[in-house]
Chains A and B, each alone.
Chain A
Amino acid sequence: MTDPTPTPPPADRTAEIRARQRSRSIVMAFGLLAFVILMYFITIARMSG
């Protein structure tokens, strides 16, 4: 009979996963912020003719 409880990942691995998820989230946040700012300036530029 197999054990239904999955083995938790080792601590090193969990830390590495968290670190990567965190750095990807930060990069994504900066990307979205840059996009919002860019869209604002594009709108101003297009409105000015």
Chain B
Amino acid sequence: MTPVTAQIRTQDLPADWRDFVALTKPRVMTLVVFTGLCGLLVAPVHIHPVLGFTAILCIALGAGAAAALNMWYESDLDSKMKRTAGRPLPAGRMERQSALHFGVGLSFFSVLLMGVATNWFAAAILAVSILFYVVVYTIWLKRRTPQNIVIGGAAGAFPPLIGWAAATGDASTLPVLLFALIFLWTPPHFWALSLFVRSDYASAGVPMLPVVSGPTVTRRQIVLYTLPMAAAAVAPWPLDLAGPLYGIVAAALSLVFLVMSVQVAANRATEPEGMLPEKRLFIFSILYLFALFGALVVDSWIF
């Protein structure tokens, strides 16, 4: 970037369209879209490909809208953390009001399009998931309690339920189990991350568990949440909602997850440099969810 360009990159310039894309947290959206797609694909009914595509598009747009509203509300926090200081609002590339308008507009658009294209039950769950993420997690819980991501994790657990509802018009045991799986997966996933970026959260005043209760308690909680998460992951097999392929993959990956969480619990490091088990668990947890949902879809095609 030339000095002149850098100089004119101020708030009074209209925001670049790429900054609006950045507001939607595209990387986070990948997992949301994938789990939503899997929820749609394992549903026991056929959905027209155009309507299926539209449902997934709406899930993606809804997630993007929630992310934009999250960034609008948290721009003060984002400016205090290294990890988030480069986002469009804290970096001064966009006005807060633009982010608010974009987020609200995209929310309404995604919910209405979902209702028109598929059914209003799926649209209602999509609306609830956006509201839950913005109001319950971002505005209410995040700055108040170390349980923020435990309860707030429900927001990220909705996509498979929405995908299923878009295809069937209702919700049954399997999508509810998938909801429970992501809900229970979120704390170990986020606490592993927050352990090695603890100083960032502390400097921003966010009461994440490692900041409030310390690494030892957080590591113990990671193991405690991994156990019911593993049970929820395997449950579709004995309940005859999934076949042996999924059951074996879920059992094996959950065992690896558990072993890695025990390695995290055994770690005594307090500085990020010594937190290799935490970093490994964080990365594995993402692959874990991708692999589980992928196996569920493949299993539903085979069995």
Q: Which residues of A contact B (CB under 8 A)?
A: 12-13, 16-17, 20-21, 23-24, 27, 38, 41-42, 44-46, 48
Contacts and interface: CB of A to CB of B under 8 A. Distances in A.
B17 A24 contact: yes
A10 to B, nearest CB: 8
B51 A46 contact: yes
Contacts of A27: 17
A23 B16 contact: yes
Given A12-B4, A12-B8, A16-B5, A42 B14 contact: no
A15 to B, nearest CB: 9
Interface residues of B, number: 15
B17 A42 contact: no
14 contacts: A13-B8, A16-B5, A17-B13, A17-B14, A20-B14, A21-B14, A23-B16, A24-B16, A24-B17, A38-B50, A38-B54, A42-B50, A45-B50, A48-B48
A20 to B, nearest CB: 5
A17 B10 CA distance: 11
Contacts of A16: 5, 8, 13
Contacts of A38: 50, 54, 57
Interface in B1-44: 4-5, 8, 13-17
Interface of B: 4-5, 8, 13-17, 48, 50-51, 54, 57, 116-117
A42 B116 contact: yes
A23 B13 CA distance: 13
B51 A24 contact: no
A45 B51 contact: yes
A41 B8 contact: no
Given A20-B15, A24-B16, 6 more contacts: A12-B4, A12-B8, A27-B17, A42-B54, A45-B51, A46-B117
Nearest to A27: B17
Contacts of A17: 13-14
Contacts of A12: 4, 8
Given A21-B14, A23-B16, A42 B117 contact: yes
Nearest to B54: A42
B116 to A, nearest CB: 7
A20 B16 contact: yes
A38 B48 CA distance: 13
Contacts of B48: 45, 48
A25 to B, nearest CB: 9
Contacts of A21: 14
B245 to A, nearest CB: 32
